[in-house]
């Protein structure tokens, strides 16, 4: 006999584990990343330090598992529930591996699949899928000091997608509603205009507008737009694509440019230091890559994002999963 679903208890447990995941992101992840930075700056460059970075990546992975299993705090997890997360992680790895073999470069579906996993399985599972998938992808893409950074970036994208999207009304969406994301887009546009005015007033001679201002002001506009939205975003191809582009460009790109500075500064011949000027240069040079990455994410979410989410939702309902 199927156990009756306790909606109130489920909401309380969901809130509790979301808070725990947010604490892990806010406290544990920065501590681990501080160790990564310290290791990168002090390590003997004649030795292979991949084992150390692999161990630190495992610490992040273990930390992401804790809130996920809080879903099952009053019972043992069913095999199919764990398999669903493993399947999404494996699908993400396979998608990126296929794109890597074909030689598509940054045009890979992995980021889109992580976002879809966060929406359909929840923010905790989204973080777990993102971190796990990136960890295993780098066994063929290459392990190194960048692995923990990439795991955190994908994990955050999966977590945020699970927080701000509303998948309950997914089957009621019959058309594309651009007006739903008009507010957040307007906030981002205003923030970019503000960034340009800031550049005109305070920018130095021979300094490019493109760079850190796009990321910093864009992040502010992105967050303000989500806050004034009030309601959680619905799942449709337009909304998914817009979120995919801006979250990938601002969050993933913003963090990985900092990672690039940290890693490059550990190489004396690079001429890059842990300073503001180096970071500005990396942000300017990173714009084309981050824009291409964001467009690829938007393309794949538009192509199959809602289809993947609908399929997972119906599977969860059919088998009574995560309840």
**Distances from the Cα of 165 to the Cαs of 44, 151, 160, 181, 279, in angstroms?**
45, 22, 9, 12, 32
Among residues 305, 251, 286, which one has the least CA distance to residue 110?
Answer: 305
Which range of 12-21, 24-33, 65-74, 212-221 scores highest in mean pLDDT? It is 24-33
Q: Work out the pLDDT band at 252, boundaries 50, 70, 90.
A: very high
Q: How many domains does the chain have?
A: 1
- DSSP string covering 243-305: HHHHHIIIIIHHHHHHHHHHHHHTSGGG---SSHHHHHHHHHHHHHHHHHHHHHHHHHIIIII
In this structure, the number of other CB atoms found within 10 A of the CB of residue 104 comes to 13
Domain presence at residue 186: yes
Whether residue 169 has pLDDT greater than 60: no
* Residue 88: inside a domain: yes
Phi and psi based region of residue 311 (left: phi greater than 0; alpha: psi -120 to 50; beta: remaining): alpha
pLDDT digits (tens, 9 = 90+) for 190-210: 777 787 777 777 777 676 666
Q: 171 falls in which pLDDT band (50, 70, 90)?
A: very low
* CA-based nearest residue to 21, from 133, 139, 114, 158: 158
77 confidence band (pLDDT: 50, 70, 90): low
Q: Is residue 143 part of a domain?
A: yes
pLDDT at 173 over 50: no
pLDDT band at 36; cut points 50, 70, 90: confident
The answer to whether residue 1 is domain-embedded is no
Report the largest interatomic distance among the alpha carbons of the chain, rounded to a whole angstrom.
Answer: 73
Please, which pLDDT band fits residue 72 given cuts at 50, 70 and 90? low
**Domain for residue 102, yes or no?**
yes
Q: Does residue 165 surpass a pLDDT of 70?
A: yes
User: What pLDDT, on a 0 to 100 scale, did the predictor assign at position 30?
Assistant: 84
Q: Which residues contact 31 (CB under 8 A, 6 or more apart)?
A: none
Judged against a pLDDT cut of 50, whether residue 229 lies above it is answered with yes
| Residues spanned by the domain of 217 | 7-312+314-319
- Considering the domain boundaries, does residue 153 fall inside one? yes
Predicted pLDDT of residue 95: 92
C-alpha distances (whole Å) from 34 to each of 115, 121, 171, 228 are 26, 30, 43, 33
Q: Which residues pair with 165 in a beta bridge?
A: 233
At what angle are helices 253-265 and 146-164 packed, to 10 degrees? 170
Q: Out of 26-35, 60-69, 83-92, 121-130, pick the least confident.
A: 60-69
Which residue, 166, 171, 153, is CA-closest to 248? 153
Say whether pTM exceeds 0.85.
no
Say if 2 falls within a structural domain: no
Confidence category of residue 216, pLDDT binned at 50, 70, 90 = confident
Question: What pLDDT, on a 0 to 100 scale, did the predictor assign at position 157?
Answer: 94
Q: Has residue 228 been placed in a domain? A: yes
What per-residue confidence (pLDDT) applies to 156? 92
Q: Is 281's pLDDT higher than 60?
A: yes
């Amino acid at each position: 006999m199927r156990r009756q679903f306790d909606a109130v208890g489920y909401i309380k447990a969901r809130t509790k584990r979301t808070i725990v995941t947010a604490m892990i992101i806010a406290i544990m992840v920065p501590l681990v990343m501080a160790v990564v930075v310290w290791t990168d700056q002090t390590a003997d460059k004649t030795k292979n330090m991949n084992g150390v970075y692999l161990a630190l990546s495992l610490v992040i992975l273990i930390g992401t598992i804790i809130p996920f299993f809080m879903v099952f705090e009053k019972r043992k997890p069913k095999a199919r529930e764990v398999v669903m997360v493993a399947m999404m992680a494996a699908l993400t790895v396979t998608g990126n591996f296929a794109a890597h073999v074909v030689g598509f470069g940054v045009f890979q579906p992995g980021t889109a699949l992580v976002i879809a996993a966060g929406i359909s399985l929840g923010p905790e599972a989204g973080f777990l899928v993102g971190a796990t998938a990136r960890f295993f992808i780098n066994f063929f893409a290459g392990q190194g000091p960048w692995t923990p950074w990439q795991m955190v970036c994908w994990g955050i994208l999966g977590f945020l997608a699970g927080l701000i999207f509303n998948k309950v009304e997914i089957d009621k969406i019959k058309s594309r509603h651009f007006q739903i994301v008009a507010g957040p887009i307007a906030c981002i546009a205003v923030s970019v205009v503000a960034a340009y005015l800031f550049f005109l007033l305070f920018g130095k001679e021979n300094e490019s507008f493109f760079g850190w201002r796009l990321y910093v002001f864009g992040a502010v506009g992105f967050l303000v737009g989500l806050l004034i939205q009030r309601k959680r975003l619905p799942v449709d191809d337009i909304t998914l694509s817009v979120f995919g582009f801006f979250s990938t460009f601002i969050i993933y790109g913003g963090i990985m440019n900092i990672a690039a500075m940290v890693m490059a500064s550990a190489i004396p011949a690079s001429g890059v230091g842990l300073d503001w000027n180096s970071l500005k240069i990396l942000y300017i040079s990173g714009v084309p890559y981050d824009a291409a990455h964001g467009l690829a994410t938007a393309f794949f979410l538009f192509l199959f994002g809602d289809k993947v989410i609908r399929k997972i939702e119906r599977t969860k309902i059919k088998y009574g999963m995560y309840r």
